[in-house]
Amino acid sequence: MIWWNDEMPSPERLASIGATTMPAHLGMEFVDCGEDWICARMPVDHRTHQPFGRLHGGASMALAETVGSVGGMMVVDPARFATVGLEINANHLRPVRDGWVYATARPEALGRTTHVWSIRIEDEAGKLVCISRLTLAVIPSEQR
């Protein structure tokens, strides 16, 4: 298991992290996690549409960065370190007009000063919508 102190994060604990920030405004919800992955979902609605009624690529990026960043936070000692986004990229592969999209993040590398996470965003049918890679910097807590 990759989680700090071998403590599996609960969706309730994860939800409290961004309760008043962008994830809440976009309707993101953490739904599950396993030994080396974390999953959140986001509605595809007026908050996350682009002008043509499809899921906005920026909303997908916000979801990817949120789930990957929270995953990174759950891996380090919170008394000593924080994780912050350093670089993110994404390929938007399929349009979605409504329903929910699900982002699952898994680490590719968990180093002392950087983490690299892969995030797959799928629609409700399990079809790949977006694939993203997020690099996090691991910084001392006092630099947050």
Domain boundaries, the chain: 4-143
Q: State the pTM of this model.
A: 0.95
Which residues are tagged catalytic? 65
Side-chain half-sphere of 111: how many Cα atoms within 13 Å?
Answer: 9
Task: Please give the Cα distance from 25 to 36 (Å, whole number).
Answer: 27
* Cβ–Cβ < 8 Å for 142, 79: no
Task: Please give the Cα distance from 108 to 39 (Å, whole number).
Answer: 16
Task: Please give the Cα distance from 83 to 71 (Å, whole number).
Answer: 9
Quick: pLDDT tens for 128-143.
999 999 999 999 988 7
pLDDT band at 110 (very low <50, low <70, confident <90, very high): very high
Name the superfamily (CATH) of residues 4-143: Hotdog Thioesterase (3.10.129.10)
